[in-house]
């Protein structure tokens, strides 16, 4: 009898272990499946459309260069509406029948003096070239966005820029820091470790010199007011490409894993904390 009871206990234990193992496997599989079902993208209240993560990264760069140059958010709105129409906010390496040599974010043509092909394919050069032309237009700040864009681009379809005005205005307002805690990106878990030094290098390229320091996986940038929010929402827009997992600024925090947008946090005023992912578990 004792031997039978022993066998029964072992069988019950094995069954329990099998059930636990099956539950763990099911839970892991569910979480993995949930990750693959996440629809990635970035949104802002008031925009007519969401942006894919790569589009949001270019929108953040265009807006950051406007901030760096001391231009109003209106300039970024005009630039974003233009790029949305010309290239869908992507750095494309081809033109069309109307402009076979058009290239880049703004479809600028080397044959029309925008620079060499390599230069117009450089998002930094292309964006600065656009702003160089825009600021020469008298009173561009008060022109309708589509009219200002047309003055720069001389497009065969001048009315086409108007359809992008709501999206351009909403993203420009967020990414220049005029609309705090408004940009939110829904992203899957990072598949690679992040590098605070790479984040700082990209930030400096976009905004210019910044006072910053690194502790572990967190980069802390000194910034105030709208500039702090411009830096913070730039980080959210670039979270996918730079494996950023959390951003904190001015008492608010964004976390990649929560999918809950900006939430109250303990970040002090005057600085932006940007945390990157550790090496994923194998």
User: In this structure, what DSSP letter does residue 157 have?
Assistant: -
Distance, CA of 87 to CA of 83 (rounded, Å): 6
Tell me the pLDDT band of 262, cut-offs 50, 70 and 90. Answer: very high
Give yes or no: residues 248 and 152 share one domain.
no
pLDDT greater than 90 at residue 221: yes
Rounded distance, CA 237 to CA 231, Å?
10
- The residue from 124, 155, 175 where one domain ends is 175
Q: Is residue 35 part of a domain?
A: no
Q: What are the respective helix, strand and coil percentages of the chain, to the nearest 5?
A: 50, 15, 35
Q: Supply the pTM of this predicted model.
A: 0.86
156 plus 58 within the same structural domain: yes
Considering its fold, how many domains does the chain have in total?
2
Answer whether residue 232 is part of any domain: yes
Other Cβ atoms closer than 10 A to 160: 18
- Decide: helix, strand or coil at residue 253: strand
The verdict on 76 and 164 lying in the same domain is: yes
pLDDT digits (tens, 9 = 90+) for 56-114: 999 999 999 999 999 999 999 999 999 999 999 999 998 776 678 899 999 999 999 99
Residues 61 and 93 in one domain: yes
Q: What are the pLDDT digits (tens) for 224-254?
A: 999 999 999 999 999 999 999 999 999 999 9
Give the range of the structural domain holding residue 269, as residue numbers without chain letter: 181-276
Query: Which tens digit of pLDDT belongs to each residue from 8-17?
Result: 666 545 554 5
């Amino acid at each position: 009898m004792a031997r039978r009871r022993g066998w029964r206990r072992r069988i019950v234990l094995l069954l329990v272990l099998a059930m636990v193992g099956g539950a763990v496997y099911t839970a892991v599989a569910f979480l993995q499946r949930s990750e693959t079902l996440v629809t990635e993208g970035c949104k802002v209240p008031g925009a007519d459309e969401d942006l894919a993560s790569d589009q949001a990264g270019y929108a953040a760069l265009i807006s950051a260069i406007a901030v760096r140059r001391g231009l109003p958010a209106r300039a970024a709105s005009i630039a974003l509406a233009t790029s949305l129409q010309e290239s869908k906010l992507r750095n494309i390496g081809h033109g069309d029948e109307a402009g076979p040599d058009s290239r880049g974010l703004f479809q600028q043509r080397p044959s029309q003096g925008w620079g060499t092909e390599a230069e117009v394919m450089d998002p930094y050069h292309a964006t600065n070239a656009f702003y160089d032309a825009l600021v020469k237009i008298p009173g561009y700040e008060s022109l309708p966005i589509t009219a200002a864009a047309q003055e720069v681009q001389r497009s065969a379809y001048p009315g086409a820029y108007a359809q992008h005005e709501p999206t351009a205005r909403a993203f420009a307002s967020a990414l220049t820091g005029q609309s705090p805690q408004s940009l939110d990106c829904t992203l899957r878990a990072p598949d690679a470790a992040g590098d605070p030094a790479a984040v700082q290098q990209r930030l400096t390229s976009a905004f210019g010199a910044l006072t910053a320091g690194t502790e572990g996986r967190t980069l802390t940038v000194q910034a105030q007011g709208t500039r702090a929010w411009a830096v913070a929402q730039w980080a959210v827009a670039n979270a996918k490409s730079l494996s950023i997992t959390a951003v904190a600024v001015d008492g608010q925090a964004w976390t990649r894993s929560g999918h809950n947008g900006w939430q109250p946090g303990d970040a002090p005023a005057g600085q932006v904390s940007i945390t990157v992912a550790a090496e994923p578990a194998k």
